[in-house]
Amino acid sequence: MQKLTRNDLYSLEAYAEARPRFRAKVLAHKKSRKLPLGPHATLYFEDRLTIQYQIQEMLRVERIFEAAAIQEELDTYNPLIPDGHDLKATFMLEYADPEDRATALARLRGIEDNVWLQVEGCARVWAIADEDLERENEEKTSAVHFLRFDLDPDMVSALKGGAPLSFGIDHEQYRYQRAPAPEETRAALVADLDKP
């Protein structure tokens, strides 16, 4: 999938005008890209549009308009766009109560390395977590991780041929298997594969 450049972004002024329409488009797009894994974990699959929205929002909130600072945002977020042979997701651990969240994050150290996907008839693919920076320490994991799932050509072919796609977590303190993913989600993710 093609990475974003400055030419793909709205200026701050243009984004202020386009934001309501653009935001509505992105929120509708994201619905099929959200996959709950049990009561407290969710995968939010990223693509070029979701990342453009994230960058636009960062530029807006931080009032960034200088070329070097815009390029820094692009360099930070472009790696989250799928490369055509992988799926990329923001993995969130969500607990409403701050005390419950703190307890859970301590108990769930390493969970980000125990998230998997499986194309029917193929081996599980374990997530590669947080390639940009370490988000876990000796006391706790983070509530947000960035995951990449590398797929081999046979898996891509099977998915394009209609094979079901399952996801799960196999952590000693949090086990969950979702099989298969809803067809709307599977179709959205298959569309991310092999895009130039």
pLDDT at position 134 over 70? no
User: Both tokens of residue 11?
Assistant: 């200026």
User: Residue 19: which domain range?
Assistant: 6-190
- The verdict on residue 1 lying in a domain is no
pLDDT at position 136 over 80? no
pLDDT at position 22 over 70? yes
pLDDT interval class at 118 (50, 70, 90)? very high
Q: What is the mean pLDDT of residues 172-192?
A: 93
Residue 131, pLDDT score: 72
Of 141, 140, 16, 128, residue with least CA distance to 79: 128
pLDDT at position 31 over 90? yes
Residue 68, pLDDT score: 94
CA distance 150 to 7: 29
- The verdict on residue 76 lying in a domain is yes
Residue 3, pLDDT score: 94
- Helix, strand and coil in the chain, % to nearest 5: 45, 25, 35
- The verdict on residue 174 lying in a domain is yes
pLDDT interval class at 137 (50, 70, 90)? low
- The verdict on residue 156 lying in a domain is yes
What DSSP letter does each residue of 119-157 carry, written as one string?
A: ETTS-EEEPEE-SSS----SS---SEEEEEEE--HHHHH
> How far is CA 115 from each of CA 143, 167, 181, rounded to the nearest angstrom?
14, 8, 14
Phi/psi at 60 (5° precision): -65, -50
- The verdict on residue 72 lying in a domain is yes
pLDDT at position 19 over 60? yes
- The verdict on residue 31 lying in a domain is yes
Helix orientation angle between 183-190 and 153-160, rounded to the nearest 10 degrees: 130
Number of domains, the chain: 1
Residue 195, pLDDT score: 60
DSSP 46: -
Residue 139, pLDDT score: 82
- The verdict on residue 50 lying in a domain is yes
- The verdict on residue 196 lying in a domain is no
Query: DSSP 3-state assignment of 48?
Result: helix
Residue 96, pLDDT score: 94
User: Both tokens of residue 64?
Assistant: 């960034």
pLDDT at position 26 over 90? yes
- Give pTM, 2 decimals: 0.90
Residue with the larger pLDDT of the pair 97 and 194: 97
Mean pLDDT (the chain) is 93
CA distance 185 to 191: 10
Residue 9, judged by CB atoms within 10 A of its CB (0-12, 13-18, 19+), counts as middle
Residue 179, pLDDT score: 74
